């Protein structure tokens, strides 16, 4: 075994957005390269820190943005987007005095986001315009429409595809309590139709301004909440004209507010971010 003085000491912060929990690390004042095997060990809830995603904040690669933001799922795979994480990193850079701005811009793996800090319980993220173009969604050529059916568990399941920087499949259900989230989520997450995997949302419409949602996240499993999937579900509902432009989304971990004026406009998400504790670990 190595002693602690032979290992790298890394500072981190534990945060969560509606129960979707994160290990947040700034690699501006400290340096380290996280391998997928290390991320898997750290994410373990019995022997590690435990988290759904590792969020890394780096110096901006472009003078147009304040910071660069990277997201790794608990299995070590880097992904494109995390809405709950965006609110948390916005709060993080303020708590750590990395900026004094209340409007903060981040470049990401695929695009950019901007975070507007109003209060701890009211952080708004500009998630940009959703895309329903299959050219922007990594799917098999067998899929020719973002509104299609697939046969699962002896039923024809109606699916709607959209990307919010990361790919989502939204399924409308009659009850989120009785929806077979784990069974269907496990099948669809790595189905051959989805080349890079898919996040699966199970949406029940209460009325045109209110939905309930459960989410099976790619590489993670069911989580307490998923901000980008909440955005995706509302975008699908608005595009299909079954939801209004301002929608309350109730997830297992709490509530988000989503606003989208439709095509050619950015989509906005509002919700809380929570600081849990600071720590350090020797790797």
Active site residues: 82, 226
Sign of the four-CA dihedral 224, 226, 232, 234: positive
Per 3-state DSSP, what percentage of the chain is helix, strand, and coil (rounded to 5)?
15, 45, 40
Strands of 174-245, DSSP E: 199-207, 210-217, 221-223
Rounded to whole angstroms, the Cα distance separating 182 from 186 reads 6
Cα 135-139-145 angle, rounded to 5 deg: 70
- 100's CB contacts (< 8 A; 6+ apart) are 94
Measured CA distances, 194 to 87, 167, 217 (Å): 28, 9, 14
- Residue 70 is inside which H or E element, if any? strand 67-73
CB-count burial class (<10 Å; 0-12, 13-18, 19+) for 96: middle
């Amino acid at each position: 075994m190595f002693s602690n003085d032979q290992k790298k000491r890394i500072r981190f912060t534990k945060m969560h957005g509606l129960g979707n929990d994160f290990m947040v690390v700034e690699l501006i004042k400290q340096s380290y390269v996280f391998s997928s095997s290390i991320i898997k060990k750290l994410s373990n809830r019995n022997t590690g820190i435990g988290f759904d995603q590792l969020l890394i904040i780096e110096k901006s690669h472009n003078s147009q943005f304040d910071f660069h933001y990277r997201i790794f799922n608990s299995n070590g795979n880097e992904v494109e987007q995390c809405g709950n994480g965006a609110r948390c990193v916005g709060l993080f850079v303020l708590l750590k005095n990395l900026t004094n701005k209340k409007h903060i811009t981040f470049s990401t793996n695929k695009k950019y986001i901007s975070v507007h800090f109003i209060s701890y319980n009211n952080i708004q993220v500009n998630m940009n315009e959703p895309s329903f173009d299959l050219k922007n969604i990594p799917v098999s050529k067998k899929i020719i429409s973002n509104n299609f059916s697939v046969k699962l568990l002896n039923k024809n399941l109606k699916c709607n595809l959209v990307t919010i920087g990361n790919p989502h499949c939204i399924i409308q259900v009659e009850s989120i309590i009785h929806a077979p989230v784990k069974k269907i989520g496990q099948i669809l997450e790595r189905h051959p139709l989805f080349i890079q995997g898919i996040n699966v949302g199970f949406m029940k419409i209460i009325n045109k301004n209110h939905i309930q949602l459960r989410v099976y996240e790619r590489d993670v499993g069911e989580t307490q909440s998923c901000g980008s999937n909440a955005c995706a579900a509302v975008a699908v509902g608005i595009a299909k004209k079954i939801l209004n432009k301002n929608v309350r989304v109730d997830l297992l971990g709490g509530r988000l507010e989503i606003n989208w004026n439709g095509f050619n406009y950015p989509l906005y998400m509002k919700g809380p971010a929570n600081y849990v504790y600071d720590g350090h670990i020797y790797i």
